[in-house]
Every structure is written in structure tokens, then in C-alpha cells.
Amino acid sequence: MAEPLVDAVIAIHDPNRPIARAVRSLTASGLAVAKDGLRITVVCHNLAAGTVADALGDGLTSQVRLIEHHDGIRSPAGPFNAGVAAASARFVSIMGSDDYLEPGALHAWCDLADDSVDAVIAPQAHADGSTIRTPPVRPFRSGDRDALKDRLFYRTAPLGLVRRDAIDRLGLTLTEGLASGEDQAFSARLWVGSRATRYAARAPRYVVGADAESRVSMTYRPLREDLAFVERLIDDPWFAGLPVRTRRAIAVKIARIHLFAAVLARIDGTNWNDDEHASLAGLIERMRERAPGFERTLSLADDRVLSAVVEAGSSTERIASLSRARRRFGRPSTLLPSNPLSLLAADAPLRFIVASALL
């Protein structure tokens, strides 16, 4: 029997999620649900398959493969890993149960996937139609993308297409046992190790459902738990074996997207304390050891936050003030890098902001 071109994997943990919408979007993605086109696998996470079948209804249930995955863990890593392990098509595409594809999306992505391509990055949008501006790839270019020059590390969710053979070759799995960031190592290894990666710039998009956006957990977790994925990543021997410029690019992304947000969220939520401060200071020092010089492409305002966090005796008020100042985009301190020689680096503020705006 011929294998399908694409195995689409959806993980669901709650039968009240809009799973039918997700499946319907796949059936309208331009690939026939047949042995040589598309196979849809719904992984029922800590749920009975019959419960999910009821949510889908007879018409859609007949078009999917239902797999149960029971691990008792509130993380999407386990069910997605189970779905990927069950996949045998040329490409795998994962999707959250709250999300959906614009019509014709899979067909358009597959058009970019010749025999050399290991990954096709899907363009993303919010449910209101606004563009999700990651990764901020170089504008006005097509063809293969470069992990550093096209800032691929800013796309952490491997949404789009991933060649099944590449998953095996690169040893890609979502990291289980983390409170967040389970896709960080998977995507970083993919962007570094992919033979060729394309970005489907003008193709139909992967849409992040408003249901998912409204349900982002605001539950407080200790910073060490929330950022455990950073420690796991930078302590990995794989990371140590990367060229220093690649380690710096990953560290810049971690600081810009994760560390600064963690600080401000805790200060604004009155959850910042000496233990949190010490945890983050230690993490920054470890990042400096493992990716020396990564701060040079961060903005002056960003670098001031890092320095204040690691400086003994820095008050919460000072860290809060600097954290808010770095968000006043457009000021010289947010546009100029801490090292003037990095002014035109790919992930320095000027080029990063321009690329994001043009996406």
C-alpha cells in the first residue's frame, strides 16, 4: 500500500475544543484524504477515542485515525510524539486542536517541498486575520533559508511540513516533562540540521484559533520551572558543539522572547522575589558562559536589563523601570545594539525590526 504524502497530527486533551473545525480545515487543505494524499491522525490525550469521535461526528470520524495516549501529564509533548511516531508519510504536519488551516494550505506547502527540502515553514495568522510575524525572514527572497540570516530560531513551533526522514536523522522529539518550551529543542535542531528549509511566504496560512489565545494560562509558576527548557537546551552537548555564532543567535532569541517577558510578568504580577531574582541571574550567567558575547547584538536597553538582573543589590524598582524602558520601541536605546560593531547584524535591532515589519 502506498504511503500518504502527508501525515497530519492533531493532539487534543479536551473534547470541548473545536476539533471538528481543525479536521475540516485539513480536508479542505488541497490534499485528498486517501492513501496517497493525506492521513489525519487525532491523538486523544488522556481521553477515550470514543469521546473524541462523538465530538467529531460520524462524517469526520470516518476520515481520521484516532490514537489514544494516556500519560497523565498536562503537556502536548507526549501526544505529539506519539502521533509523529505513528506517522510514515513523506512529511509530517502537526496542529493544535484550537487551530486550523486556510483552504489549500497543505497543497501549497507541498509545492515548495522538492526532494532536497527537509522543512517548509508555514506562514501564520491570528484568528482575526492579523499576521504572526515569525520568523522574521529576509524580505524579498525566495528559495532555501538560512537558520541565522533568516532568524529561524524565532519560530519555535515546527508548524508546516517536516520530512519524516529528517525527524529520524536529526533525532527530533518534543521534550517531555517541561511546563513550557517543549518544542524549543525540536525546532532549534531542525533549523540547524535541515538540508534545506523553505518559507511559504505567500501560501495559505496556519491560523492560531482565538480559543487558544484566550486560554493561555496565567497561572504563576516558579521561574526555574517556567524556563527549565532554557537550562535543558544550553546544557545539552549538542548546543555546546554548535559554532559560537549559532549559540549566540539562540541565546539572543531566548533573552529577547523569553527572559525579558518572564521578568516583567512577575514584577507586574507581584511574583518577583529574591529567589526569582537569583534564579534568573544564575541563568543569565550560564548563558554568558555557553554563548559568550551574545549580548552584543541586543539593544542597549536590553543589555541594561540583563546587567541589572545580574548586578548584586539591584532593586526591583530599577529592574522594573529598565524592563519597561526596553519596550519603548523607536527610542535610540532600543534601536542601537550594545556593541556598535553589531549595528547591521541579522539579529540586531534595526534589521530585526525591519524584517518583522515586512513579513
Nearest to 203 by CA among 158, 159, 164: 159
Nearest to 218 by CA among 271, 277, 174: 271
How many residues appear in the chain? 359
- For 237, other C-beta atoms within 10 Å of its C-beta total 6
Instruction: For residue 189, give every residue at least 6 positions away whose Cβ sits within 8 Å of its Cβ, in sequence order, or none.
Output: 170, 171, 172, 238
Nearest to 42 by CA among 27, 28, 52: 52
Q: Which residues of the chain have pLDDT under 50?
A: 214, 216-218
Determine the pLDDT at residue 219.
Answer: 60
Q: What angle do the packed helices 300-310 and 316-325 form, to 10 degrees?
A: 160
Neighbouring-strand partners of residue 131: 125
C-alpha 249/C-alpha 282 separation (Å) is 20
The three-state secondary structure class of 23 is: helix
Determine phi and psi for 295, rounding to 5 degrees. Answer: -65, -20
Residue environment code for 219-234, b if the CB has 16+ CB neighbours within 10 A, otherwise e: eeeebbebbbbbebbb
Instruction: For residue 209, give every residue at least 6 positions away whose Cβ sits within 8 Å of its Cβ, in sequence order, or none.
Output: 18, 21, 96, 98, 99, 100, 127
Nearest to 69 by CA among 49, 46, 53: 46
C-alpha 52/C-alpha 335 separation (Å) is 49
Q: What angle do the packed helices 49-56 and 19-27 form, to 10 degrees?
A: 70
CA–centroid distance for 251 within its chain: 15
C-alpha 235/C-alpha 287 separation (Å) is 9
**Span 125-181, pLDDT tens digits:** 999 999 999 999 999 888 999 999 999 999 999 999 999 999 999 999 999 999 899
Indicate the pTM of the whole model. 0.94
**Span 205-234, pLDDT tens digits:** 999 998 755 454 446 789 999 999 999 999
Determine phi and psi for 159, rounding to 5 degrees. Answer: -90, 135
| Residue 176 near residue 78 (C-beta atoms within 8 A) | yes
C-alpha cell at 103: 483552504
Q: What is the CATH number of domain 6-214?
A: 3.90.550.10
Determine the pLDDT at residue 114.
Answer: 92
Instruction: For residue 323, give every residue at least 6 positions away whose Cβ sits within 8 Å of its Cβ, in sequence order, or none.
Output: 260, 263, 264, 267, 305
DSSP state of 297: G
The strand pair at 6-12 and 38-45 is best described as parallel
Neighbouring-strand partners of residue 161: 120
Q: Where are the alpha helices (H) located in 254-310, listed in sequence order?
A: 260-268, 274-290, 300-310
Q: Locate CATH 3.90.550.10 in the chain.
A: 6-214
C-alpha 355/C-alpha 133 separation (Å) is 9
DSSP state of 135: S
